[in-house]
Chain A
Amino acid sequence: NAGVTQTPKFQVLKTGQSMTLQCAQDMNHNSMYWYRQDPGMGLRLIYYSASEGTTDKGEVPNGYNVSRLNKREFSLRLESAAPSQTSVYFCASSEPDRGTTGELFFGEGSRLTVL
C-alpha cells in the first residue's frame, strides 16, 4: 500500500551540481505533479503531467526539467542547482486530472539543500 514514493528523502548539493528526484505511484493514476514547499509560501506547482506522454509548466518551472517515464514514474531534474532551489519537494498524483473532486495524493517529500 505504498501510494506515492519519492527518492531521495534528503539531499545536499553544491551550487552547480545536478540531480534527479524520482517519484513513482502505484495507484494507476494518470496525472502526476511536482510541487515545492517553502516557509510561508504554501505549495507552488513546478511541472505536471496530465497523462503519460505529456508534461506542462506550472507556476515556477525555471531551473527544472521533468520526464514522465511511464504511467507510474515522473522525475524532476535540476540541471545546475542554485541556493534558491533549497526547498522541500513533493510529488503528487490524481485521477483523473479533471472532472472529479481533484484530490491529490502526496509523497512524503524530498528535502533538498543547495550550498
Chain B
Amino acid sequence: GEDVEQSLFLSVREGDSSVINCTYTDSSSTYLYWYKQEPGAGLQLLTYIFSNMDMKQDQRLTVLLNKKDKHLSLRIADTQTGDSAIYFCAEIGGYSSASKIIFGSGTRLSIRP
C-alpha cells in the first residue's frame, strides 16, 4: 500500500528556520497536508497544497512540493516556542474518500532557547 514517511524528531533554536521533510509513494496524490498536534490536543490542519502547485506560502509557513521526487517540506520561519508540536504529513490520492488519507508518523519539533 501507499506510504508516507517523515523523521521522528527535529530540534531547532528559537528564531531559526525549521524545515520538516516528508516523502510519499502515491504517484496519484492530489492533496498533501500538514497537520499540527499541540500537546494534549487533536490534530489541526496547518496548510495543504494541491498537487499541481510547487510552492505555497502563508505568513511564516512555506510548503514546497517536488512531485518528481515525491518530496514535501514545511518550512517555518522565525521558529517560536509556540511552534513546539508534532507535525504530520498526509496525502490523499485522486478524489478519494477522506477515509483514504494516509498519515506519516509525525515529526516532533522541539525549540531550544
Contact = CB atoms under 8 A, between A and B. Distances in A.
A104 to B, nearest CB: 6
Interface in B26-58: 31, 33, 35, 40-45, 48
Contacts of A75: none
Given A43-B88, A108-B41, A101 B99 contact: no
- Interface size class, chain B: 20 to 34
Interface string A76-107: 00000000000000101010011101111011
B105 A41 contact: yes
B99 A33 contact: yes
A56 interface: yes
A74 interface: no
Contacts of A98: 95-98
A45 interface: yes
Nearest to A49: B99
A50 B99 contact: yes
A33 B88 CA distance: 17
Interface of A: 4, 31, 33, 40-43, 45, 48, 50, 56, 58, 90, 92, 94, 97-99, 101-104, 106-109
